[in-house]
Structures are given as C-alpha cells and as structure tokens.
C-alpha cells in the first residue's frame, strides 16, 4: 500500500503545528507549502543593516501552551530558544507623567492597584480566582474541542462550567463588578483587545486573558519572536515534514467531492490524500476551490465581525530611547469615541490608540550597538482604503504624541522606516479585508459558531488557523493545528 500524502497550505503557527502533529502521529508523507520565501506566516522576520524586525506577533503569553506543544514531541521551548520573563511586563501610558509600569510580581501588582483604588488588591484576588478557573477549563479543555457539534458540549458538568464562566455577560460589566477606577478598568480590559473586539462585545469568559497576563506573565524569546518559528520549523523537519517556500497554491483540484491535488501558480501539481488549509480561510473558500464546493457564501463572510487590521511601522533609531519599556500601551486617548473606527465602521480614527514595542531594550541582538529597534502598531478597522498618504499622516500623529509624552525627539533620529498595512496583509497573506488578527471572539463567533474546520462538501479538506476554532492569537493557532490534526487522523484512517 502506497504512503498517503497530506498537503498543508501555509506555514504560520497553525500550519506548522498541524503538519508536525500529522508527521509525528501518522506514517504519512507531509508537505507544507508556503507562499512567501520564508516560513512563519505573519510571524516572519526581516533584517536591515543590523536591525532585526519581527513582522507580526510581539507578545509571548500563555507559556504553558508552548510547553504543552513542544512536550507533545518530547521537547521543551528551551531546546529551541531562551525565554525570559519581562519585568515590568509592560507600561501603560495614560498621558504625560501618567505611566504605570506593570510589575511581574503579583504582590507588587496588588500594591500598585491599592494606591490607585484602596481595596483593589483584595478585589484582584477575587477577580483572578474566577479568571484562573476560566483559564484552566477554557485553555485546557474547551479550546481543544473541534466544535463541529453541540454534542461536544452537552455534558452536565460542562453546562455548569459554562454558567460559571460568564459566557453570557460582557467583559465590560464583569470588570466593573470588581473595580471602580477607570485606570484599573482600562488595564483589565486591555487583554481582550487581542481578541478583536471591545470589552462591551466580548464575553466575560475571556477574563482568562487576565490570568494569562497577570499570573502567568509576559515573556520574550531572546533574538525575537521568530525564534519560535525557527524552533517549530526545526522540529517539523526533524519529524519528516517537507517544507517548500515560494510555493503558492492557485487551486485545490476536487473531483467527486474529494480533494485530489493542489496546483501551484507555477503550474506544478501535487497529489494529495488530505489537504489542510492554514492559509486565509476566506481566500481558500472563495478562490482556491470551485465555487460549488465553498463552505460559505460571500454574504456570510461579509457579515462576520472581523478583528482589526493594523498600520505598522518598523523603525531603526540612531540613538537610545528613554521613558519607554519593551512593551508600551498608549492609552492617552479614550477608546470609547474611536471604537467603531477600530472594530466596525471602515474609517480612519481621529485620535488613534497605539502600541510601541522596543525589543532592543531587552535584547541587544535586534539592533546595532547604541541604536534602538522600534515597532509601532495602530489598530484599525478592516477594509480601509490604504494609501501612502494616510500612512504618513498617522505616522506623524502618533509620533507627535510619543515624543511629547516621553519627552524626547525621535523622528529626526529614524534611520530606517518601513510601513505595513491593509494592502500588505492582502498581498502577503490574502488576508480577508486586510485583517491582521482573524475573526473577533464575540459570543456569536465562538466554538460551533465559527467557520467550521472541515469542508462540508469535500470529505478530505480541512481548515486551521485564526479564522476557525479556537480563534485568533499565537497560542490558539498552535492549539488549532493540533485540533485539526486529530480530526484528520480520525476521519481518514491515518
């Protein structure tokens, strides 16, 4: 009997995870196809004259998820990269001379909250006790389910858990049960921004993100986030995965309801017994398969609530910077009036929120000596008209604020600058509406209400990544690859 062949499309976290699980747990030949010239998807890197830039993810949260991933294959993260815990975890900047450095130590964190709001430390203990329970059930159980049927969630114990985990209450209301200070409320609501919506529209289940933030900590792999990808690629190849970069798929050829092969833009055809798509779900669904085999209509996709896109700037600075940390959240403008411009209405905000990362403050390898590596991010609504003129306008807006608040000249010291936004996400990743983070984790886009990880009309075509279960973010994408691999093995006798 000939060896079966699984083709995985896309080498982001989910694609690498799926390919490695399948190569490890089956006797199949596994080929991973990557459109771009280097692996990693949104977690690629690039270099310029001694500056090393991570192109996408910059936060390392939920270290236990990475440990579980590598342990599956008898490995540890430390086999591939050197992980350090940041202290302070990050800085929250509310305005000039209004900065909170978030300590890694929990007792110091509670003391900081008590100074802002007497009694907040005790309230934090209560808040985190609930968040810990949600984390343990959510991350170690719920997100590992394929979410293809309500029966997966039908046990009495799990129904009780669902009530305890506040899935029908908003994060905004939940936080306000414990805290009154607007400073603390904004701090506690910040982690759910990773899930692509405001706290008013995210279930309180996701206070589990606060547990990840406060209790488990913010970490950094030395030499940059791409070290995770480098480690995953090394592990995948060790397990026998064949990785091909510069191999963009143009079509998944389907015959009689079965994916038979993939055709590359070069014209090459690769036979397949199973296809797992880790590329943008919408792109695969609407452009890589014959329309009669699409899972969803264009109307369905247009009605999805997308997480934001981003305007990014990668900057090389010709001097050291002051009054900044590795991670810096600029909350000097209120979110409320600008939320629609970030999450819903396709327009540019008047006073954008933004985030600044300066990894060279932690890691001297990512910038030449005496210089800084800076990464700026503005969350924006998807599907905006993306022009160089607008990018430059917003660069000046946020740099003026950064310079004024931190008390230093920066723009005149920029010796390298590259921007990246909607058009680039579309070009590089075929990202639907130029999204950066996938689907928002609203209640109506959770578990079985997400796009299915299995094609309903093609028996051997599956999906993984941020547009299907369990959702956006690096740890969920790692989990997604493992979840889909189990379904592939179960249903295809691999």
Where are the CATH 3.50.50.60 domain residues in the chain? Answer: 5-48+58-82+223-303+442-492
Average pLDDT, the chain: 94
Where are the CATH 3.30.519 domain residues in the chain? Answer: 306-429
- Model confidence at 197, pLDDT cuts 50, 70, 90, reads confident
Name the residue among 333, 457, 315 with its Cα closest to residue 372. Answer: 315
Where are the CATH 1.10.405 domain residues in the chain? Answer: 105-216
Task: Report pLDDT digits (tens) over 418-443.
Answer: 999 999 999 999 999 999 999 999 88
105-216 has which CATH code?
1.10.405
- Over residues 17-28, the mean pLDDT reads 98
What 8-state DSSP symbol labels residue 244? E
Task: Report pLDDT digits (tens) over 390-418.
Answer: 999 999 999 999 999 999 999 999 999 99
Task: Tell me the whole-structure pTM to 2 decimals.
Answer: 0.96
Q: Which two tokens stand for residue 463?
A: 């999906």
pLDDT value, residue 117: 98
- Over residues 198-205, the mean pLDDT reads 90
CB 431 within 8 A of CB 280: yes
- 3-state secondary structure string across 8-25: EECCCHHHHHHHHHHHHH
- Point out which residues pair with 203 in neighbouring strands: 170
Distances (CA, A) of 216 to 46, 61, 183, 235, 302: 29, 7, 22, 25, 36
Integer distance in angstroms from the first to the last C-alpha of the chain? 13
- Edge-to-edge strand list for the sheet holding 274-277: 242-244, 29-33, 5-9, 274-277, 461-463
5-48+58-82+223-303+442-492 has which CATH code?
3.50.50.60
What element of type H or E holds 377?
Answer: strand 372-380
pLDDT value, residue 153: 78
- Rounded distance between C-alpha atoms, residue 259 and residue 257, angstroms: 7
Lowest mean pLDDT among 19-33, 96-110, 149-163, 308-322: 149-163
CB 54 within 8 A of CB 81: no
Mutual orientation of helices 63-71 and 474-492 as an angle, nearest 10°? 30
Task: Report pLDDT digits (tens) over 183-196.
Answer: 999 999 999 877 88
Length of the chain: 494
Lowest mean pLDDT among 281-290, 314-323, 375-384: 375-384
Task: Report pLDDT digits (tens) over 475-494.
Answer: 999 999 999 999 999 999 89
pLDDT at residue 156 tops 90:
no
- Rounded distance between C-alpha atoms, residue 42 and residue 31, angstroms: 20
pLDDT at residue 116 tops 80:
yes
Q: Please write down the long-range contacts of 173-179, taking CB distance under 8 Å and 24 or more positions apart.
A: 173/204, 174/204, 174/207, 175/127, 175/199, 175/207, 178/123, 178/124, 178/126, 178/127, 179/117, 179/120, 179/123, 179/127
Fold held by 306-429: Guanine Nucleotide Dissociation Inhibitor; domain 2 (3.30.519)
Task: Report pLDDT digits (tens) over 40-61.
Answer: 999 999 999 999 999 999 999 9
């Amino acid at each position: 009997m000939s060896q079966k062949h699984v083709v995985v499309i896309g080498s982001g976290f989910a694609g690498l995870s799926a390919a490695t699980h399948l190569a490890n747990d089956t006797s199949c030949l596994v080929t991973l196809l990557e459109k771009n010239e280097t692996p990693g998807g949104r977690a690629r890197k690039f270099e310029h004259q001694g500056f090393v830039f991570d192109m996408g993810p910059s936060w390392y949260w939920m270290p236990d998820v990475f440990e579980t991933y590598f342990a599956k294959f008898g490995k540890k993260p430390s086999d591939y990269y050197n992980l350090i815990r940041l202290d302070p975890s990050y800085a929250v900047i509310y305005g000039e001379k209004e900065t909170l450095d978030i300590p890694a130590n929990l007792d110091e964190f509670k003391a900081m909250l008590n100074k802002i709001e007497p009694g907040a430390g005790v309230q934090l203990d209560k808040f985190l006790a609930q968040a810990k329970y949600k984390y343990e059930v959510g991350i170690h159980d719920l997100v590992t389910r394929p979410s293809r049927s309500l029966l997966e969630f039908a046990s009495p114990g799990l129904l009780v858990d669902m009530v305890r985990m506040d899935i029908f209450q908003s994060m905004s209301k939940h936080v306000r049960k414990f805290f009154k200070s607007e400073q603390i409320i904004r701090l506690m609501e910040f982690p759910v921004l990773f899930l692509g919506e405001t706290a008013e529209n995210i279930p309180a289940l996701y206070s589990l993100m606060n547990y990840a933030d406060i209790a488990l900590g913010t970490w950094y792999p030395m030499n940059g986030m791409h070290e995770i990808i480098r480690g995953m690629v090394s592990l995948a190849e060790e397990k026998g995965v064949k990785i091909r970069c510069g191999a963009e798929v143009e079509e998944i050829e389907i015959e009689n309801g079965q994916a038979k092969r993939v055709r590359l833009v070069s014209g090459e055809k690769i036979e397949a017994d199973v296809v797992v798509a880790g590329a943008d779900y919408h792109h695969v669904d609407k452009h890589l398969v014959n329309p009669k085999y699409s899972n969803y209509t264009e109307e369905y996709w247009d009605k999805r609530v997308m997480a934001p896109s981003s305007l990014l700037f990668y900057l090389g600075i010709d001097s050291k910077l002051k009054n900044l940390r590795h991670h810096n959240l600029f909350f000097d403008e209120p979110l409320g009036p600008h939320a629609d411009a970030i999450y819903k209405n396709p327009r540019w905000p008047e006073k954008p929120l933004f985030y600044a990362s300066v990894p060279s403050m932690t890691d001297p390898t990512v910038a030449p000596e005496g210089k800084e590596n800076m990464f700026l991010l503005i969350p924006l609504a998807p599907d905006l008209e993306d022009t160089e003129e607008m990018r430059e306008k917003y660069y000046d807006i946020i740099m003026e604020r950064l310079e004024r608040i931190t008390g230093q000249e920066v723009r005149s010291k920029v010796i390298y600058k590259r921007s990246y936004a909607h058009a680039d996400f579309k070009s590089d990743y075929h990202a639907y509406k130029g999204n950066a983070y996938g689907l928002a984790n609203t209640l109506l886009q959770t578990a079985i209400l997400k796009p299915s990880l299995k094609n309903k009309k093609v028996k051997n075509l599956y999906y993984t990544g941020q547009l299907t279960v369990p959702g956006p973010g690096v740890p969920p994408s790692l989990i997604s690859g493992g979840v889909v691999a189990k379904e592939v093995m179960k249903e295809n006798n691999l």
